[in-house]
């Protein structure tokens, strides 16, 4: 049996919305080298689904929902890791020798890394390990051009994984690589699903080193560290780390509702819930049409559907114009049998989507009203 590490490595899996982080994590967790791994998933929005989609539920899996680690719940991140640590120490959860964090696709990775690196308690028990960034071969070009967080995710990575190379033209992938290399010239790069993935290669035990990273990445890390030190000072003085949040988490409502579901000014998340089973054909056509029409403003759609005639749920995924084939899950993750669909949109009003769905379902003989 391997020695217990003095400091537990923390790996971050980052990458823009829908770029394949959960899929990669699911693949990695099947590798025996990753037995004894705790997982912390952060999801943006009012309804969390990734922990269900991962189809692994145990006490070493933690969901931090309803906010983005980088801008609203830094305090919660450090509390959640401390809680995992204390439960491990007293034997209340299975022993783990590694922690993997999957951040939301909107998260700036630097505040997350600086929390683990510089939190006055965490740094005595945990250390940063490799950062892995996924880049979507189909949507990556646009995402990198438009979203600064995505550039930071790629810049900080020790390992890069270009996903969906089976869906993109070879020429598109060849054009994407120089863009990635401008931000991160050196990190080893995998193309999936074609390249074999090994957990050891991706999540080796190397320490996170700042030296050797681009000047830009070093600057971003230093800025995030300064934020963490300010936070440490403030929480030390006030004695209450839970209350230490950025102004974005003030709870004040914005144009799109409570700010905890918002990131930047125009990006917000919401969920649609359906009490009755859905007709897959009707829903599938509507979703395809919706993404066709509003794709550039729909950063992500994902859901667990209760489909008429199916004993287990169906997972649906969309990213901008791309609708992925539905996946039949093995079983319901819990007692909740409602369909839940999360939208993360940029500058698109929720009411437009609700009206469109309601009208489409009505035309096709099914009625729906948001409960
Ligand atoms: N064809 C293909 N589909 C992929 C690949 N990687 C991921 N997908 C699909 O892309 C969709 C989104 O994948 P996820 O793993 O949920 O992406 P994510 O980055 O975790 O999404 P968020 O957590 O919402 O940001 C799913 O339908 C996956 O099956 C790939 O290499 N090839």
Q: Is the CB of 98 under 6 A from ligand 1?
A: no
| Percent of all residues in the chain with a pLDDT value above 70, rounded to a whole number | 82
Q: Whose CA is nearest to atom 5 of ligand 1?
A: 164
| Cα R_g (the chain), whole angstroms | 20
Mean pLDDT rounded to a whole number for the chain: 84
For a substitution probing ligand 1, which of 23, 135, 150, 326 has the most ligand atoms within 8 Å of its CB?
A: 23
pLDDT(174) > 90: yes
CA 136 to centroid of ligand 1, rounded, Å: 8
By most ligand atoms within 8 Å of CB, the mutation choice from 12, 15, 16, 22 for ligand 1 is: 22
CB 197 less than 6 A from any atom of ligand 1: no
pTM: 0.88
| Residue 249 pLDDT level (bands cut at 50, 70, 90) | very low
At 134-158, the pLDDT tens digits run 999 999 999 999 999 999 999 999 9
- Structure confidence at residue 210 (pLDDT): 82
Ligand 1 lined by 192 (C-beta under 6 Å): yes
**Measured between alpha carbons, how far is 278 from 251 in angstroms, rounded to an integer?**
34
Atom of ligand 1 nearest to the CA of 26: 15
Give me ligand 1 centre to Cα 146, in Å: 20
Copy the structure tokens of residue 271.
């969920």
More confidently predicted of 176 and 26: 176
**SS3 labels along the chain:** CCCCCCCEEEEEEEECCCCCHHHHHHHHHCCHHHCCEEEEEECCCCCCCHHHHCCCCCCCEEEECCCCCCCCCHHHHHHHHHHHHHHHHCCCCCCCCEEEEECCCCCCHHHHHHHHHHCCCHHHCEEEEEEEEEEECCCHHHHHHHCHHHHHHHHHCCEEEEECCCCCCHHHHHHHHHHHHHHCCCCCEEECCCCCCCHHHHCCCCCCCCCCCCHHHHHHHHHHHHHHHHHHHHHHHHCCHHHCCCHHHHCCEECCEEHHHEECCCEEEEEEEECCCECHHHHHHHHHHHHHHHHHHEEEEEEEECECCCCCCEEEEEECCEECCCEECCCCCCCCCCEEEEEEEECCCHHHHHHHHHHHHHHCCCCCCCC
Q: What is the pLDDT of residue 237?
A: 61
Distance 84 CA to ligand 1 centre (A): 27
Which residue has a Cα nearest atom 10 of ligand 1?
Answer: 20
Task: Check residues 235 and 357 and name the one with the higher pLDDT.
Answer: 357
23 C-alpha to ligand 1 centroid (Å):
6
Q: Is the interface score ipTM higher than 0.95?
A: yes
Structure tokens given for 130: 């490799």
Residue nearest to atom 25 of ligand 1 (CA): 17
Does residue 21 have its Cβ closer than 6 Å to ligand 1? Answer: yes
Tokens of 28: 């990695």
pLDDT at 264: 62
Residue minimizing CA distance to atom 13 of ligand 1: 20
pLDDT(33) > 50:
yes
Residues 74-97 have a mean pLDDT of 90
Residues 78-108 as b or e (16 or more Cβ within 10 Å = b): bbbbbebbebbeeeebeebbbbbbbbbbbbb
Question: Which pLDDT score, from 0 to 100, does residue 365 have?
Answer: 72
- Is 308's pLDDT higher than 60? yes
Mutate to test the pocket of ligand 1, among 139, 317, 341 (most ligand atoms within 8 A of CB): 317
Q: Residue 229: what pLDDT?
A: 80
Kindly report the protein residue whose alpha carbon is nearest to atom 32 of ligand 1: 164
Q: Ligand 1 in contact with 52 (CB < 6 A)?
A: no
The pLDDT value given to residue 346? 93
pLDDT higher than 70, residue 252: no
Task: Give tens-digit pLDDT for 257-274.
Answer: 334 455 666 888 899 998
Pull the structure tokens for residue 203.
């999540």
Nearest partner of 324 among 22, 39, 10, judged by Cα: 22
Domains and CATH numbers, the chain: 8-241 (3.40.50.300), 265-363 (3.30.1220.10)
Q: What is the per-residue pLDDT for 154?
A: 97
- Cβ atoms < 10 Å from Cβ of 251: 10
Taking only the tens place, the pLDDT of each residue in 326-368 is 999 989 988 999 999 999 999 999 999 999 988 888 887 776 6
What confidence score (pLDDT) does residue 257 get? 34
Residue 317 CB–ligand 1 contact under 6 Å: yes
So what's the pLDDT on residue 305? 94
Q: How far is the CA of 193 from the centre of ligand 1 (A)?
A: 11
Least confidently predicted of 93-97, 307-311, 350-354, 360-364? 360-364
- pLDDT band at residue 177 under the 50/70/90 scheme: very high
Long-range Cβ pairs for the range 308-316 (8 Å, 24+)? 308/277, 308/278, 308/279, 308/280, 309/277, 310/280, 313/339, 314/280, 315/53, 316/284, 316/287, 316/341
Q: Does ligand 1 have an atom closer than 6 angstroms to the CB of 27? A: no
- Check if 20 has its Cβ closer than 6 Å to any atom of ligand 1: yes
Distance 22 CA to ligand 1 centre (A): 7
């Amino acid at each position: 049996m391997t020695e217990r590490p003095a400091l537990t490595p923390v790996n971050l899996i980052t990458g823009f919305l829908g770029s394949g982080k959960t899929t990669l994590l699911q693949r990695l967790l099947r590798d025996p080298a990753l037995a004894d791994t705790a997982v912390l998933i952060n999801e943006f929005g009012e309804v969390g689904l990734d922990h269900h989609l991962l189809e692994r539920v145990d006490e070493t899996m933690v969901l931090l929902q309803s906010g983005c680690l980088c801008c609203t719940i830094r305090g919660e991140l450090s509390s959640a890791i401390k809680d995992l640590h204390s439960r491990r120490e007293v034997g209340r959860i299975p022993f783990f020798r590694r922690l993997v964090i999957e951040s939301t696709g909107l998260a700036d990775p630097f505040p997350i890394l600086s929390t683990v690196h510089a939190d006055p308690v965490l740094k005595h028990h945990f250390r940063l390990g490799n950062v892995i960034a996924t880049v979507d071969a189909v949507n990556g070009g646009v995402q990198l051009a438009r979203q600064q967080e995505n550039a930071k995710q790629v810049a900080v990575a020790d390992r890069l994984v270009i996903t969906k190379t089976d869906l993109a033209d070879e020429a598109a992938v060849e054009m994407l690589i120089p863009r990635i290399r401008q931000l991160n010239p050196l990190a080893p790069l995998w193309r999936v699903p074609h390249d074999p993935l090994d957990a050891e290669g991706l999540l080796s035990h190397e320490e996170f080193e700042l030296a050797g990273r681009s000047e830009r990445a070093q600057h971003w890390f230093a800025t995030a560290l300064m934020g963490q030190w300010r936070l440490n000072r403030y929480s030390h003085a006030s004695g209450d780390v839970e209350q230490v949040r950025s102004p974005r988490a003030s709870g004040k409502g914005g144009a799109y509702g409570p700010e905890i579901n918002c990131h930047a000014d125009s990006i917000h998340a919401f969920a649609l819930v359906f009490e009755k089973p859905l007709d897959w054909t009707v829903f599938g056509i509507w979703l395809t049409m919706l993404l066709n029409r509003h794709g550039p403003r729909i950063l992500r759609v994902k859901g667990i559907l209760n489909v008429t005639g199916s004993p287990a749920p169906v997972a649906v995924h969309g990213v901008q114009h791309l609708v992925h084939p539905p996946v039949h899950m093995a079983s319901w993750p819990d007692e909740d049998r409602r369909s839940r669909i999360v939208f993360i949109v940029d500058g698109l009003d929720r009411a437009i989507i609700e009206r469109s769905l309601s009208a489409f379902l009505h035309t096709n003989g099914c009625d729906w009203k948001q409960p």
